[in-house]
Amino acid sequence: MTTAVLPDSPAPARASGAVRFARHLGALAQLAAVGVIGSAIFGVLVTFLSLGVSLLLVIGIGALFLIAFVYLMWATAWLEYERVEGLYAYGLPALRLRRSGRPGFGGWLRTLWQQFIDGPMWRGIASASIATILGLVTLSLVGTLVSSLVLPFAPLLGGDTVRIPTTGIFVSSDWAILVGILGIVVSIALLVGIVLLHAMLTRAILVPSRESVLLEQARTAGTQRASAVRAGEVERTRIERDLHDGVQPRLVSVGMTLGLAQQKIDSDPTAAKALIDEAHTSTKAAITELRQLARGIHASVLDDRGLDAALSALAARSHVPVQLDVRLPDASAGRCSRTAEAAAYFAIAESLTNAAKHSRASETRVTVRLREDESVGGRPTLWARVEDNGIGGARILPGGGLDGITNRITAAGGTSRLDSPAGGPTALEVSIPCAS
């Protein structure tokens, strides 16, 4: 068993002196811009928060301001993540909007609350706040630097005293050059210090520590393991139910029919022949059911010909017409892992089964794509969406088909989202990393 050793945090490759100098200048320019723009953004955020709180109990319109406040904070944090990643290339994942995965108004309220308490968003806000403060200090130091650059030339204008530009301070002409040089050195030193401080603080705030990475990996592994166990239990229950309610009674009936035929074979050969024909028909039906049950356990065509062919065969057997839109790279360009393809296949198969049994749909649409997902480091992700035009109202119930889908997708390291309002339509989206 191989144990992976994680670094304290992702670190970019050592850059050359010219690259580091250009990065420092870019950081100063960004901080100066953030000092101006950030002040305006945080002013807007404070305004929306104060209006939302003050108007919430008066006419209720304050709720709109509070909702806007939450998503403006997310947009601010997203900009901060993108700015820091573009400047320092820490390998930060793109900030994503939170989703509760629950339908209806209650699910939307839960989503809003999860977004408000989202830790990465608040870390982005903290980093943006510090960058704004440092930006204002940077603007002040740039003004001081410009004044110090002008000051050594001020004695050329004559006079016993010289006024330092942008300030109300007067110095003797004899000391103007020394004060100017000292101001230049101090301003440049402080600007360099601000750049280094900004890099250190953004790294400490936005880049996850080794402990947090290990904790998140352990939590994810625990969730996937629990989901795999739960998916296995749901699948076992389904197989037992199909055997008990379908194949087993049919085989019992075949045995009883053959027993009756055996009793009549001497006294009534014609009736015995009819019973044997009936048993033969029931046997073929049982074989068909066993084949369908085997496909539900393992789809051999998935291994032999890939996901596209497997879904085509699945759509051909569906009782509800299926519009299939699968756009995947050629097999020569590489396929997703067996785990990812199997999870997507069985999620689509169960969705089509539910549409045929419960949704009263007259049409379903299946869309499958291979995407680059920034939330998993830009790695290929298998994305699928199944939508029907039925009556909606689908819910994830313990032990049900949708519960099995959710657990199976989670066990494969992916995510699922169900949207099924009353009256329809029903849409299920799954996203699974290609490399598990």
DSSP for 291-341 reads HHHHHHH--HHHHHH-HHHHHHHHHHH-SS-EEEEEE---GGG----HHHH
pLDDT value of residue 436: 52
CB 304 within 8 A of CB 339: no
199 vs 82: CA distance, rounded Å:
14
User: What pLDDT is attached to residue 72?
Assistant: 94
* Greatest Cα-to-Cα distance within the chain, rounded to the nearest angstrom: 139
Question: Nearest CA to 103 among 393, 402, 398, 358?
Answer: 393
**416 bridge partner residues:** 430
**CA distances from residue 212 to 7, 124, 216, 218, 267 in whole angstroms, order as listed:** 12, 17, 6, 10, 81
Contact 397, 79 (CB under 8 A): no
- For residue 126, give every residue at least 6 positions away whose Cβ sits within 8 Å of its Cβ, in sequence order, or none: 205
For residue 72, how many C-alpha atoms fall within 13 Å in the half-sphere facing its CB?
A: 17
At 38 the pLDDT is 92
pLDDT for 426: 86
Reported in sequence order, the residue ranges of 186-250 that DSSP labels E, i.e. its strands, are none
Among 413, 309, 429, 432, which Cα is nearest to 367's?
429
Contact assessment for residue 388 and residue 353, using Cβ atoms and an 8 Å cutoff: no
Backbone angles phi, psi at 426, to 5 degrees: -110, 130
pTM of the model: 0.57
Q: Can you tell me the distance from the alpha carbon of 171 to that of 152, in angstroms, rounded to the nearest whole number?
A: 11
- CB of 273 closer than 8 Å to CB of 244: no
Strands 322-327 and 364-373: parallel
Backbone angles phi, psi at 396, to 5 degrees: -85, 110
CATH class for the region spanning 301-436: alpha beta
DSSP 8-state secondary structure symbol assigned to residue 14: P
Q: For position 300, what pLDDT does the model report?
A: 64
Q: Across the 436 residues of the chain, what is the mean pLDDT of every consecutive 10-residue run?
A: 40 59 84 92 92 79 88 93 88 79 72 87 93 92 81 63 60 69 86 91 82 63 64 65 70 81 80 81 75 61 76 83 83 70 85 82 88 62 88 78 80 83 84 77
